[in-house]
Amino acid sequence: MCGIAGLIHRGKRSDVGTEMTSMLQALKHRGPDSTGFAIYGAPRENSLVMRFKVAEQEDITSGGFKIHQQIKDRKAEVDRRLTELGVMLSEEAEPTEYAYRYRFSYDGDLENLAKYVEDVEGAEILSLGSALELVKDLGDAAVVSSTYGLAGFNGTHGIGHTRMATESDVDIRSAHPYWAFPYNDISLVHNGQITNYWIMRRQMERKGSRFMSNCDSELLAVYTADNLSQGATLEESLRQSIDEIDGVFTYLVATRDELGVAKDTMAAKPLVLYESDDLIALASEEVAIRAIMPHEIDTYDPYEAEVRVWQA
Amino acid sequence: MAGVSDTEDRSYDMGMHTEQLSGRTQQIFFSPEDEENFVYPWAPEVDYNKRTELDVADMTPNEINKSLKGLMNEGYGSIVIRNPGAKHSIAVGILNRLNLIIDGSLGYFGCGLIDGPNVRISGRVGWSFGENMMAGTVLIEKNAGSTFGAAIRGGDLVCKGSVGSRTGIDMKGGTIIVGGDTGAFSGFMMQRGRMIVCGNAGKNLGDSMYDGTIYIGGQIADLGVDAVPAELSGLDKAWLSRKLSLYGLLPEKGVDHFTKIVAGKQLWNYDNLEPSEKKIIL
């Protein structure tokens, strides 16, 4: 059934890494297969963070003796291509054998960069932006957060997802959040089923969009990216999706300084919302909100076809 | 009103058939002679004057429900649950009388399948709260999630705040009362019972309802298939006033402004002819 959660602090920063971990751990029963975080720190001018992987976790156990060397070779090829493009690398972290975090400066075309990197076998950019840090992996929130060192991450907002795989594989590729390729700092999590997935995917692919998985949720990220590329605001894109996306869904979208939500016309997927002057928190179940606010609070369920956008 | 048999007469005399149904729906009757229909032989005898508290902050839903069962087996008839933390499936399947107070909020499927307890909840509740409730009363002080009171068969399920979509979906009896607003598709495939919403109702109200009655105090976005307005009679007003007064929800301006919605009876009726109101006392 999957669980989604998000929060946004208004006018201040907080340890959103720990907060999102607590919220998603409380939703573990809704999806134990994988967990993902998209959290937003202070944007840095002239500096980008790229999270990417060159293999799946499963490849390590099933890939035989050669997989370790293959991973090294793939990473080396990514490095070579970045150097070739003129990327100035300033930070490099390797939380796992197969997933990496690079900070660099680059003033070229990001879409070309992304496509060139993803042309390397096994390579997938999980996120690219000046404020966004996107991590996702197999396991519950506590495991993924610990592996990627998210505790203490100082930021303004974040979204996350606990996944129960229903129609696609249990792997990082199919885990949420999705980065809205190739747009900086845009991420998305979704709970539901998109019933016109293949129709819309074929339309988007004909327009040149890239899909990395067969997960219907990825369509929403690509769809959002396409709308934004045509000049739509986040709120306009969310409202448009109510009419154009068929199925039952609740999804959250985060940008560098915004958090948005859209629900389908039947309100068939759950969402509980807490809203105060300085904090918005929303999740599939209230138990996730209680994980960061144990005191008594007022919450409510947004209604059908409801769209909301908040600023950090 | 007289029935066609002694059993029916006795049933009416006991006040068990206040709801008037018509059309293809037929009332069948609960027999007061059948004792097994009133109590569950294995349900514990409890004493309302025997009271205890249970702090569930560090307990799983399974542990909480087992603890509740254990306390009831010890004869506790008044139990206060502290720090429920919006956990799911709390206080489900209680089949005996009990005065249960929940100090805080519950998650989804709280108080599902209950048959008899009186429950007060100081916070809000999640999805599918009170699903298939059979008897008793539940009073929630704040808001509730979607599919509130799905398929309930009896008792009073009251939310003083607003509720999500599909309230009372497939309800087969009992009364749902909402102090605030309700979302889309409320009363969807409703078969029996009554729903009162003091505030506004979302789109497709009463869609495909077979029978039962919906009363709306505010605006109705639109009506669903085969849901039609009906005249608000004096009997309706008297019943509404009494019910809403019971829970402190009677509007200052009274109930004359309520809109009554019933089934147009043009759809196929899948009612499986269960007793319309099961029991009013234990």
pLDDT band at B282 (very low <50, low <70, confident <90, very high): very low
Q: Quick check: is A147 in a domain?
A: no
What pLDDT shows up at residue B17? 55
> Considering chain B, what percentage of its residues have pLDDT values greater than 90?
72
Residues B58-114: tens digit of each pLDDT: 999 999 999 999 999 999 999 999 999 999 999 999 989 999 999 999 999 999 999
Spell out which residues of chain A touch residue B184, defining contact as CB-CB under 8 Å. Answer: 265-267, 303-304
Q: How far apart are the first and last CA of chain B?
A: 24
Closest partner CB to A299 (pick from B85, B122, B143) = B143
What pLDDT shows up at residue A166? 72
What pLDDT shows up at residue A214? 83
Q: Which residue has the higher pLDDT, A307 or A266?
A: A307
Spell out which residues of chain B touch residue A267, defining contact as CB-CB under 8 Å. Answer: 146, 164-166, 183-184
Q: Quick check: is A127 in a domain?
A: no
pLDDT band at A64 (very low <50, low <70, confident <90, very high): confident
pLDDT band at B280 (very low <50, low <70, confident <90, very high): very low
What pLDDT shows up at residue B25? 43
pLDDT surpasses 80 at B269:
no
Q: Which residues, in sequence order, are CB contacts of B20 under 8 Å at separation 6+?
A: none
CA torsion, ordered A165, A169, A170, A175, to nearest 10 deg: -80
pLDDT surpasses 60 at A287:
yes
Q: Which residues, in sequence order, are CB contacts of B146 under 8 Å at separation 6+?
A: A267, A270, A301, B127, B128, B163, B164, B165, B166, B167, B183
Concatenate the DSSP letters of all residues of chain A into one string.
--EEEEEEESSS-EEHHHHHHHHHHHTGGG--SEEEEEEE----TT-EEEEEESS-HHHHHHS-TTHHHHHHHHHHHHHHHHHHHT-EEEEEE-SSSSEEEEEEE--S-HHHHHHHHHTSTT-EEEEEESSEEEEEEES-HHHHHHHHT-TT-EESEEEEEEE--SSS-SSSTTPSPEE-TTSTT-EEEEEEEETTHHHHHHHHHHTT----SS-HHHHHHHHHHHHHHTT--HHHHHHHHHHH--EEEEEEEE-SSEEEEEE-TT--S--EEEE-SSEEEEESSHHHHHTT--S----B---TT-EEEEE-
Closest of B204, B165, B205, B209 to residue B189, by C-alpha: B209
What pLDDT shows up at residue B35? 54
Name which of B105, B142, B147 to mutate to probe chain A: the one with the most chain A Cβ atoms within 10 A of its Cβ.
B105
pLDDT surpasses 60 at A233:
yes
What pLDDT shows up at residue B34? 56
pLDDT band at A68 (very low <50, low <70, confident <90, very high): very high
Q: What is the rounded average pLDDT of the residues A8-14?
A: 95
Angle at alpha carbon of residue A263, lines to A266 and B153, rounded to 5°: 40
What whole-number distance in Å separates Cα of residue B206 and Cα of residue B214? 8
pLDDT surpasses 90 at A57:
no
pLDDT surpasses 50 at A255:
yes
What pLDDT shows up at residue A26? 96
What whole-number distance in Å separates Cα of residue A106 and Cα of residue B105? 50
What pLDDT shows up at residue B278? 47
CB spacing of B164 vs A267 below 8 angstroms? yes
Contact (Cβ atoms closer than 8 angstroms) between residue B202 and residue B222? no
CB spacing of B126 vs A300 below 8 angstroms? no
pLDDT band at B270 (very low <50, low <70, confident <90, very high): low
What pLDDT shows up at residue B279? 45
Q: Quick check: is A14 in a domain?
A: yes
**Average pLDDT of chain A to the nearest whole number:** 93
pLDDT band at B271 (very low <50, low <70, confident <90, very high): low
What pLDDT shows up at residue B43? 83
CB spacing of A303 vs B105 below 8 angstroms? no
Burial class (CB in 10 A: 0-12, 13-18, 19+), B256: exposed
The pTM score is: 0.85
At B164, the amino acid letter reads G
pLDDT surpasses 90 at A295:
no
CA distances from A168 to A165, A215, B162, B238 (A): 6, 6, 37, 56
Q: Which residues, in sequence order, are CB contacts of A46 under 8 Å at separation 6+?
A: A105, A107
What pLDDT shows up at residue B23? 43
What proportions of chain B, in percent to the nearest 5, are helix, strand and coil?
15, 25, 60
Q: Quick check: is A203 in a domain?
A: yes
What whole-number distance in Å separates Cα of residue A47 and Cα of residue A57? 29
Residues A177-221: tens digit of each pLDDT: 999 888 889 999 999 999 999 999 999 999 888 888 888 888 999
Q: Quick check: is A102 in a domain?
A: no
Q: Which residue has the higher pLDDT, B13 or B278?
A: B13
Phi and psi at residue A304, in whole multiples of 5°? -60, 145
Between β-strands B172-178 and B156-159, what pairing exists: parallel, antiparallel or unpaired?
parallel
Name which of B60, B88, B124 to mutate to probe chain A: the one with the most chain A Cβ atoms within 10 A of its Cβ.
B124
pLDDT band at B1 (very low <50, low <70, confident <90, very high): very low
What whole-number distance in Å separates Cα of residue B140 and Cα of residue B103? 11
Residues B2-57: tens digit of each pLDDT: 445 666 676 566 555 555 555 444 444 555 555 555 567 778 889 999 999 999 99
Q: What is the rounded average pLDDT of the residues A279-286?
A: 96
**Tokens 């006991």 appear where?**
B14
Q: What is the rounded average pLDDT of the residues A262-283?
A: 94
What pLDDT shows up at residue B32? 56
Name which of B89, B106, B142, B146 to mutate to probe chain A: the one with the most chain A Cβ atoms within 10 A of its Cβ.
B146
Q: What is the rounded average pLDDT of the residues A250-256?
A: 96
**Tokens 């060139």 appear where?**
A116
Q: Which of A33-42, A132-141, B241-250, B262-271 has the lowest mean pLDDT?
A: B262-271
CATH number for the domain harbouring residue A200: 3.60.20.10
Spell out which residues of chain B touch residue A296, defining contact as CB-CB under 8 Å. Answer: 104-105, 122-123
Cis ω before B251 (30° cut-off from 0): no
Residues B194-204: tens digit of each pLDDT: 999 999 999 99
Phi and psi at residue B41, in whole multiples of 5°? -55, -30
Q: 10 Å Cβ neighbour count for B39?
A: 16
* For chain B, counts of helices (H) and of strands (E): 3, 11
Between β-strands A48-53 and A14-15, what pairing exists: parallel, antiparallel or unpaired?
unpaired
What pLDDT shows up at residue B255? 97
What whole-number distance in Å separates Cα of residue B189 and Cα of residue B207? 6
What pLDDT shows up at residue A247? 92
Closest partner CB to B183 (pick from A270, A294, A304) = A304
Closest partner CB to A301 (pick from B104, B145, B185) = B145
What pLDDT shows up at residue A8? 98
Q: What is the rounded average pLDDT of the residues A136-163?
A: 96
Q: What is the DSSP letter of B165?
A: S
For residue B156, list its beta bridge partners.
B137, B175
Q: What is the rounded average pLDDT of the residues A61-65?
A: 77
Q: 10 Å Cβ neighbour count for B204?
A: 25
What pLDDT shows up at residue A234? 95
Closest of A75, A83, A34, A68 to residue A53, by C-alpha: A75
Contact (Cβ atoms closer than 8 angstroms) between residue B223 and residue B204? yes
pLDDT band at A76 (very low <50, low <70, confident <90, very high): very high
Between β-strands B156-159 and B135-140, what pairing exists: parallel, antiparallel or unpaired?
parallel
Q: Quick check: is A124 in a domain?
A: no
Structural domain harbouring A196: 3-33+159-311
Q: Quick check: is A50 in a domain?
A: no
B214's tokens: 């919906």
A5's tokens: 């959660």
> Considering chain A, what percentage of its residues have pLDDT values greater than 70?
99
At A309, the amino acid letter reads V
